[in-house]
Structure 1
Amino acid sequence: MKEQVILKAVGLLPESFFSLCYGFKPVVIDGQRLDSKARLLCDIDRKNATPVRDTPLETTRANLERLSGALSGPRPRLHSVTDIDIPTDIGPLPARLYKPTSDRSLPALVYYHGGGYIRGSLDRHDGLCARLAKYGGFAVLSIDYRLAPEARFPAAVDDAIAAFRWAVHHGADQGLDPKRVAVGGDSSGGCLAAAVAQQVKAAQGGAPAFQMLLYPTLDAHLSADSYKLFEDGFFLTYERIRDYRDMYLNNAAERDDVRASPILNPDLAGLPPALIITAGFDPLRDEAESYGKALQSAGVNVGIVRFPAMVHGFMSMTAILPQAEKAVRQAAEALSHVFRGESL
């Protein structure tokens, strides 16, 4: 409760106030200056964090859910928000459908939340998904895929593919346009979106119209230079990423599987256009941008946008960080352009 009150107060004060509070000693790494509000969030996180492997899983999940509302703010008003179940071979898959209008054939974004494959939920990403729907004018189908370690790799990928295929083949029953279905996600959800695009292409079935990859994790080997630059102290740490990965994968050999490491796929030609948004102070920054360049080299239309003063997960912090609102609008508008048949 105390943290929630503090976060709400932080959201009401200008960034310049926190710049003064920190004195005139900005955090500058790799030519980037860390936003002062983001820096305060990192400091709060650092003081309260415990190693993932030493924390009960229920506590790890509950901590994320507890702060989500204070970070993202209230859900914007939409035409409708409906919880549904998607039938799959292993049982119903919970999902939440956001509709900005009453149109009967809305283009749709199938969205996979972040959380390191071990946490995150429909509620945790409620604000982000609602804003994407509102600003883009398309429906968002948020997927509550199975989490590790109860369901390890490739369960989440299987659920992600099943959800996309359901949207294409049965989404019309929910007022969706089956010819205009995109995939997207943040962090681990971004990896799932990239994997869906690759796997559906390989199976030659109903490719997504677009990939919205928000600071995605794309290489389970964790070898990019940004892991060293931002190893600790910037919200997402190398230690957390490693622990998330090890709770998700069954063994080290699976790090080479392109469903866990989409960046290792040698055949990226023919994939749908993509927008990749990264944060400057994020261990995942370099691998995401490298993937974008690899897509471009393969002839894919890709936009790569870095928010240099931000940290991992910032787009779910719209109540605190003004740059988050800007990034959400930019992502939504990019997809809206594609749905209208326009270029990025």
Structure 2
Amino acid sequence: MLVSLNTLRIAGLAIAIASTSAVAHAQQAQPDPQMQAVLDALKGLDAKPLHTLSVPDARTQASAADAARTVQRDKRISALPEAKVATKDIAIPTAGGSLPARVYIPEGDGPFPVVLYFHGGGWVVADINTYDATPRALALGAKAIVVSADYHHAPESKFPAQHDDAWAAYTWTVENVHTLNGDANRIAVAGESAGGNLAANVALMAKAKKTTMPIHQLLVYPIAGNDMTTPSYQENANASPLGKADMEWFVGHVFKSKDQISDPRINLVGRDDLGGLPSATVITAQIDPLRSEGQAYADKMKAAGVSVNLINYEGVTHEFFGMAKVIDKAKDAVDAANADLVKAFAKRK
């Protein structure tokens, strides 16, 4: 009888564990139909979780942007008017070598306000070609020149090479954007994911160095902390296209040691020097491990007296922002970002 009781207890424990696991898994929200269509397209392109791949394979497989373009093509959605935005490829000279950059130029007469934009990809994958949709949408909607600056990638160049590059790109933009018909007195910084972290750091560095400050920050689901046990990490541990294991994969390639993620350039939510930063738009996605830290950084800026517009979008995942052609919530997010940029630019005219 004792054996039977133990067996029952063990079985009961197994059921309890399974139940707890099911509840935890159920915490991840379901993508809305438009987001799901992109995720299905990504799966159809045979994209695999980044953490299962080598760096070369991760860099060459289909991206979320490729999936969005696939949906756009299949639905026969026009590339206009964004496709009409003129572009010019340039090189930004830095102490570490030239950085590729692409300048997006709106129609009309300048000088135009300027957005310095940094792409995502965990500082390991992606480039200015992958992240083409956002700069086009910002140039069009904010009627601004957008300088999309690349940076050295890990693991070939470890942290803080990317932050050094971002600062070099900003100082170059301040000093030279007039040659591109841009207004150096009206420069905003913007970025997605790892690029959002770079944009935030540019503003922080400008403040610390007491030099020309950007007039606005657009931070789209930025890397803003080093805690992988936040509510959004727990809810979205297995999310696509970015889950917890993928973030751990990035950390393993970017940093010389895991201790470096405590650096204040990474752990933005741990900083206490946020007063005096420019206004910010912070956009987060529900189905994203980075949601909690992005929202926490927005709250800390607000507490420090910074004007912040924090917007969270339900039913969408990391990378949704550049998918405005096929996801309505992405279009809403881009429109909100552009409205805030226009407002910030108008204050400096």
The reply on whether 1:37 has 2:34 as its aligned counterpart is yes
Match of 2:61 among 43, 47, 63: 63
Deviations 1:181-224 (A, max 9, x none): 11110111101111111112111111111110011111133232
Map of 1:210-249 to 2, 5 A cutoff?
210-249=216-255
CA change 1:196–1:40 in 2 (3 A) is: same
User: Hey, what's the Cα distance between the residues in 1 that align with 2:62 and 2:164?
Assistant: 24
CA change 1:41–1:161 in 2 (3 A) is: same
- Where 1:98 maps in the other structure, the secondary structure is strand
**Corresponding residue number in structure 2 for 1:332:** 338
Map of 1:244-263 to 2, 5 A cutoff?
244-263=250-269
Conservation of the 8 A alpha-carbon contact between 1:277 and 1:304: yes
Deviations 1:50-94 (A, max 9, x none): 453442322211224554643677371445210011111122111
Structure 1: give runs of 5+ residues left out of the alignment.
1-26
Deviations 1:278-316 (A, max 9, x none): 111111111101110100000000000011121111012
Deviations 1:8-33 (A, max 9, x none): xxxxxxxxxxxxxxxxxxx9748x66
The reply on whether 1:174 has 2:172 as its aligned counterpart is no
Match of 1:300 among 306, 315, 325: 306
CA change 1:297–1:214 in 2 (3 A) is: same
CA change 1:256–1:187 in 2 (3 A) is: same
State the identity as a percent: 31
Which stretch has the larger CA shift, 169-178 or 43-52? Answer: 43-52
Structure 2: give runs of 5+ residues left out of the alignment.
1-24, 74-78
User: Hey, what's the Cα distance between the residues in 2 that align with 1:331 and 1:319?
Assistant: 16
Return the offset for 1:41.
3.7
User: Hey, what's the Cα distance between the residues in 1 that align with 2:335 and 2:214?
Assistant: 21
CA change 1:166–1:71 in 2 (3 A) is: farther
CA change 1:254–1:67 in 2 (3 A) is: same
Return the offset for 1:157.
0.5
Conservation of the 8 A alpha-carbon contact between 1:105 and 1:177: yes
Which stretch has the larger CA shift, 299-308 or 88-97? Answer: 88-97
User: Hey, what's the Cα distance between the residues in 1 that align with 2:158 and 2:338?
Assistant: 31
Which structure has the bigger radius of gyration? 2
The reply on whether 1:196 has 2:202 as its aligned counterpart is yes
User: Hey, what's the Cα distance between the residues in 1 that align with 2:200 and 2:279?
Assistant: 11
Question: Structure 1 length as normaliser, TM-score?
Answer: 0.85
Conservation of the 8 A alpha-carbon contact between 1:218 and 1:288: yes
Return the offset for 1:39.
3.0
Return the offset for 1:40.
4.3
CA change 1:255–1:164 in 2 (3 A) is: same
Conservation of the 8 A alpha-carbon contact between 2:192 and 2:222: yes
Deviations 1:124-175 (A, max 9, x none): 1112210111011111100111111111100110111111111111111111
Map of 1:9-48 to 2, 5 A cutoff?
29=27, 34-42=31-39, 45=42, 48=46
User: Hey, what's the Cα distance between the residues in 1 that align with 2:313 and 2:207?
Assistant: 30
CA change 1:187–1:89 in 2 (3 A) is: same
CA change 1:41–1:28 in 2 (3 A) is: farther
Question: Structure 2 length as normaliser, TM-score?
Answer: 0.84
Map of 1:90-109 to 2, 5 A cutoff?
90-109=96-115
Match of 1:135 among 135, 138, 141: 141
**Corresponding residue number in structure 1 for 2:6:** none
Report the AA paired with residue 112 of structure 2: L
- Where 1:183 maps in the other structure, the secondary structure is strand
